[in-house]
Amino acid sequence: MKILYKMPSLLLYSRLVVSISIVIFSFSNISPKTIAFLSIYAIVSDIFDGIIARYLKISTIEMRQLDTKIDAVFWFSCLFYICINYTEFLQKHFLQIGVLVFSEIAIIVFGFLKFQERISYHTIFSKFWALLLLWFFIDLLFSSTAQFSFSCSFWYGLFVQLEIIIIAIILDKAHTDVPNLISAVKLKKGIKITKNRIFND
């Protein structure tokens, strides 16, 4: 049973290993299928580390914040892979990718300026964004164009980032696992919020 209690952390850090592997594989001729498999594993592990931790009642603020940081490392490793292996796509969509990267950095900076810590809301919409980004990344790996999947990921991602920054503006104190804007308003008023057993504590 002890291994079960270590499972969330093992899954979390395994995602970090996947991220490092993707960066290393950026300079090799490894099959796109391998990169796709690693990416799918990363998202599946991201889903289940939280579910298992909540089921075992061992989810902590520190674990949730670390989860957010490792998520960012994973997606930046995917971006690095794109920069090295899909330069034509990168040049064509440089502005849109730049906007998403800037918004992510802006959220990090804003969090540290206002709360002195990394924003880690794990909103419901952000979880679906991860699935869209996975769809786009795999689409790019095998088609080299991924126009439609990228457009969906980009516009939905802007919406997700906007919601996160608005939540951060609304809240006076640092919180983890704020499902949506309505929850943020309730927290602002001191009202206890109900969280989804699958998505949040």
pLDDT digits (tens, 9 = 90+) for 62-95: 888 899 999 999 999 999 999 999 999 999 999 9
- Helix (H, G, I), strand (E, B), or coil: what is residue 48? helix
Q: How far apart are CA 31 and CA 70, in angstroms?
A: 24
pTM, 2 dp: 0.91
Q: Looking at residue 196, what is its pLDDT?
A: 59
Count structural domains, the chain. Answer: 1
The answer to the question of residue 199 being in a domain is no
Here the tokens at position 187 are: 């927290």
pLDDT digits (tens, 9 = 90+) for 9-68: 999 999 999 999 999 999 999 999 999 999 999 999 999 998 888 888 888 888 888 999
Q: What is the CATH number of the domain that holds 137?
A: 1.20.120
Q: Looking at residue 1, what is its pLDDT?
A: 63
Q: How far apart are CA 59 and CA 108, in angstroms?
A: 22
| Residue 146 belongs to domain spanning | 2-188
The CA distances from residue 39 to 74, 79, 117, 155, 180, in Å, are: 9, 12, 27, 21, 26
pLDDT digits (tens, 9 = 90+) for 151-200: 999 999 999 999 999 999 999 998 988 999 999 999 999 888 876 555 55
The one-letter amino acid at 166: I
The answer to the question of residue 195 being in a domain is no
The answer to the question of residue 196 being in a domain is no
Q: Looking at residue 201, what is its pLDDT?
A: 47
The answer to the question of residue 194 being in a domain is no
Q: How far apart are CA 176 and CA 192, in angstroms?
A: 14
Here the tokens at position 196 are: 């989804």
Among 67, 45, 71, CA closest to 177: 67
Here the tokens at position 83 are: 């920069």
Mark residue 116 as left, alpha or beta (left: phi above 0; alpha: psi -120 to 50; beta: remaining).
Answer: left
The answer to the question of residue 200 being in a domain is no
